[in-house]
Amino acid sequence: MTIAVYAGSFDPVTAGHLSVIRQAARLFGHVVVVVAVNPKKRTLLTAAERVELLREVVALHPNVTVASTEGIVVEYARAIGASVLLRGVRGATDAQFETELAQTNRALAPDISTLFLPAEAHLAEVSSSALKDRLSRGEDISAFCPAAVAAKLRQRLLEPRSPV
């Protein structure tokens, strides 16, 4: 059985990410969606929240599991016996960055291939940052993420917080 790893920050998971996950679930025996934790990157959601949301939204795919790592993703992939790294691409800018990342990963682990999967065309402009920006401007984001994600973002970005 081929194990594929799809890693990202997923802050939060978008419909574009889910498009890639659906494709991967059809192509591979087991897909591990990995929340890659970068302590230098400022995120809206905690790693635990991102993992929880991902688990909720991929629950319909029995061959998809969710994990997290603070280490180098290609090393995580090797440790779990994965032979494929998946990367979602939205357009030319993503392709350039992702190609450079794939070359770095190949140098670190020549036995692990990188496969680029595009999201559906109508989701090409959906990013986690754009999703948060749209919600902050009061726009409807329901077409760009699952309901659980929209609810978590509304809670985090729009609801007043009580003083500590």
Q: Given pLDDT bands bounded at 50, 70 and 90, which one contains residue 160?
A: low
Residue 98 lies inside a defined structural domain of this protein = yes
CATH number of the domain at 134, please: 3.40.50.620
Residue 162 lies inside a defined structural domain of this protein = no
Average pLDDT over residues 38-42: 87
> Closest Cα to residue 17, out of 75, 87, 73, 77?
87
Average pLDDT over residues 82-110: 88
Provide, rounded to the nearest whole percent, the portion of the chain with pLDDT above 90: 71
Whether the model pTM is above 0.95: no
Residue 68 lies inside a defined structural domain of this protein = yes
Residue 29 lies inside a defined structural domain of this protein = yes
Provide, rounded to the nearest whole percent, the portion of the chain with pLDDT above 70: 97
Token pair for 107 = 């140098």
* 28 vs 150: CA distance, rounded Å: 29
Average pLDDT over residues 41-45: 92
pLDDT at 161: 59
Residue 164 lies inside a defined structural domain of this protein = no
Residues annotated within a binding site for ATP: 9-10, 17, 88-90, 98, 123-129
Residues annotated within a binding site for substrate: 9, 41, 73, 87
Residue 103 domain boundaries: 3-157
Residue 116 lies inside a defined structural domain of this protein = yes
Average pLDDT over residues 118-124: 84
* 30 vs 49: CA distance, rounded Å: 23
Average pLDDT over residues 96-122: 90
Residue 153: half-sphere exposure toward Cβ, Cα within 13 Å: 28
In contact, 46 and 157? CB cutoff 8 Å: no
Residue 58 lies inside a defined structural domain of this protein = yes
Residue 44 lies inside a defined structural domain of this protein = yes
Total number of domains constituting the chain: 1
Q: Given pLDDT bands bounded at 50, 70 and 90, which one contains residue 97?
A: confident
Residues annotated within a binding site: 9-10, 17, 41, 73, 87-90, 98, 123-129
